[in-house]
């Protein structure tokens, strides 16, 4: 059985979200890809309907919903297109830092507007000189009286252009011997002096997802914007990266399922040598192989989501799912494009967009090589 952790109420929610997306998102998606941004108005509509941050407590404007609702939202967004991952990042990756480590005052100040979509969020860890090796970041924050002075540069930041709140990983103690122990998280608000945006980056895929450089030059961040405790930023990120990796695995799985369906539909309708190309044994075997990988991926993923909802430790398994499912989806994209022939290389066919969108899933949220290093360590190697 698929989605064993979902109940009737989740499926009712799915139907209403799908109807909403059919009206408010799908007809505009191609234009947003061309404009290379998802308009704020769409974020606000998502918020108004309760489709952002559903697990935030009611006291802060959310619905106190279980994480099954987030799974439904992530799946439905990915069915439309991978560029919507920035919305998942907001609801299920960035905002959870505030709910987990924020003070009551910070939650009151930030969460309600995150839920309505008035405020869009980002997390800025990666720098031009440090991605996988996160402990080597060079952005610093020096405490001076009642504020920090933040200096540094971040790159590849999802929602970077639109973001109203950015959680910035920085060194508050650059002298500590174990580098990761000097890292803290500061929340930088849109209009803080010294904060500016750099280039909006031109990507191979995910065209509507805004990805940017962020610059902090003697940026004055009030002391009250420190998230959690000073020096604990690295462990907070390691904890929250689990859910981030699960989100990426869900997106990869759904994308693979979508590509398979698109291709099954295509091969049944396309004719060559007097018959439908679905009649060729090669076509059938390729589709069967992909369907088998996808079915196995779904079983593993569903089990993992269930364990995550139960609050179990999924570090090793989520690292497995992240590398395996993103690699599986990338292979599916290559084969599905081949089965579309020349039409698969044309932009008007969805497979072309999915082919360029999927490779980044092996890179962000920790590269697949880093996933394997984590698994190797946890195997005692």
Ligand X SMILES: Cc1cc2nc3c(=O)[nH]c(=O)nc-3n(C[C@H](O)[C@H](O)[C@H](O)COP(=O)(O)OP(=O)(O)OC[C@H]3O[C@@H](n4cnc5c(N)ncnc54)[C@H](O)[C@@H]3O)c2cc1C
Q: Where do contacts with ligand X occur on this chain (CB under 6 A)?
A: 122-126, 131-132, 156-158, 203, 206, 211, 360, 363-364, 366-367, 369-370, 373
For the bound state, the minimum distance from the C-beta of residue 206 to ligand X, rounded and expressed in Å, comes to: 6
d(CA 185, CA 283): 51
Q: Contact at 8 Å (CB) between 76 and 252?
A: no
Query: Is 239 designated active site?
Result: no
Buried residues in 51-78 as b, exposed as e (16+ CB within 10 A): bbbbbbeeebbbeebbbbbbbbbbbbbb
For the bound state, the minimum distance from the C-beta of residue 146 to ligand X, rounded and expressed in Å, comes to: 27
Which sign does the torsion angle of CA 29, 31, 35, 39 carry? negative
Closer CB to ligand X, 169 or 192, in the complex: 169
Q: Contact at 8 Å (CB) between 14 and 185?
A: no
For the bound state, the minimum distance from the C-beta of residue 86 to ligand X, rounded and expressed in Å, comes to: 8
d(CA 269, CA 130): 48
Q: Contact at 8 Å (CB) between 137 and 153?
A: no
Q: Are strands 275-276 and 271-272 parallel, antiparallel or unpaired?
A: antiparallel
Closer CB to ligand X, 65 or 252, in the complex: 252
For the bound state, the minimum distance from the C-beta of residue 276 to ligand X, rounded and expressed in Å, comes to: 38
Q: Which residue of the set 76, 244, 257, 327 is catalytic?
A: 244
Token duo for residue 254:
């759904």
Spatial neighbors of 29 by CB under 8 A, at least 6 apart, are 80, 81, 83, 208
Closer CB to ligand X, 139 or 263, in the complex: 139
Question: What angle (nearest 5°) sits at the alpha carbon of residue 80, between those of residues 97 and 310?
Answer: 40
d(CA 280, CA 261): 17
Burial of 311 (0-12, 13-18, 19+ CB in 10 A): exposed
Closer CB to ligand X, 206 or 252, in the complex: 206
Closer CB to ligand X, 161 or 339, in the complex: 161
- Name the DSSP class of 133: -
Closer CB to ligand X, 99 or 139, in the complex: 139
For the bound state, the minimum distance from the C-beta of residue 48 to ligand X, rounded and expressed in Å, comes to: 25
Q: Which helix (H) or strand (E) segment is 140 a member of?
A: strand 140-144
In the block, residue with structure tokens 């405790």 = 229
d(CA 107, CA 84): 25
Closer CB to ligand X, 4 or 129, in the complex: 129
Q: Contact at 8 Å (CB) between 298 and 257?
A: yes
For the bound state, the minimum distance from the C-beta of residue 105 to ligand X, rounded and expressed in Å, comes to: 26
Closer CB to ligand X, 283 or 362, in the complex: 362
Q: Contact at 8 Å (CB) between 376 and 104?
A: no
For the bound state, the minimum distance from the C-beta of residue 171 to ligand X, rounded and expressed in Å, comes to: 15
d(CA 275, CA 338): 18
Residue nearest to ligand X (CB): 131
For the bound state, the minimum distance from the C-beta of residue 175 to ligand X, rounded and expressed in Å, comes to: 24
Catalytic residue annotation: 244
């Amino acid at each position: 059985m698929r989605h064993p952790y979902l109940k009737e109420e989740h499926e009712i929610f799915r139907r209403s979200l799908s109807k909403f997306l059919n009206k408010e998102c799908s007809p505009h998606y191609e234009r947003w890809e061309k404009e290379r941004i998802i308009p704020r108005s769409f974020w606000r509509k998502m918020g108004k309907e309760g489709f952002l941050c559903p697990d935030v407590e009611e006291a802060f404007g959310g619905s106190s919903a279980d994480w099954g609702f987030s799974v439904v939202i992530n799946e439905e967004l990915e069915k439309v297109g991978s560029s919507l991952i920035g919305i998942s990042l907001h609801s299920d990756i960035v905002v959870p830092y505030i709910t987990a480590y924020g003070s009551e005052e910070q939650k009151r100040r930030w969460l309600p507007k995150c839920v309505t979509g008035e405020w869009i969020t980002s997390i800025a860890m990666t720098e031009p000189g440090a991605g996988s090796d996160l402990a080597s970041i060079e952005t610093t924050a020096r405490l001076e009286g009642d504020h920090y002075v933040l200096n540094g540069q971040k790159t590849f930041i999802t929602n970077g252009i639109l973001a109203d709140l950015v959680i910035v990983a920085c060194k508050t103690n650059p002298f500590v011997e174990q580098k990761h122990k000097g890292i803290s998280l500061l929340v930088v608000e849109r209009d803080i002096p010294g904060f500016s945006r750099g280039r909006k980056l031109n990507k191979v895929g995910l065209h509507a997802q805004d990805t940017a450089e962020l610059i902090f030059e003697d940026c004055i961040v009030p002391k009250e914007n420190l998230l959690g405790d000073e020096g604990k930023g690295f462990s907070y990120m390691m904890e929250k990266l689990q859910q981030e990796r699960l989100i990426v695995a869900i997106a990869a799985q759904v994308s693979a399922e979508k590509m398979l369906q698109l291709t099954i539909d295509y091969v049944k309708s396309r004719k060559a040598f007097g018959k439908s190309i679905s009649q060729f044994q090669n076509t059938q075997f390729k589709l069967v192989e992909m369907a088998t990988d996808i079915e196995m991926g779904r079983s593993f993923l569903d089990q993992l989501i269930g364990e995550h909802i139960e609050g179990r430790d999924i570090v090793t398994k989520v690292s497995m799912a992240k590398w395996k499912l993103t690699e599986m989806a990338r292979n599916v994209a290559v084969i599905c494009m081949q089965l579309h022939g020349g039409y698969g290389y044309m932009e008007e066919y969805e497979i072309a967009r999915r082919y360029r969108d999927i490779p980044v899933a092996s890179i962000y949220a920790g590269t697949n090589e880093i996933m394997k290093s984590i698994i190797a360590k946890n195997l005692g190697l």
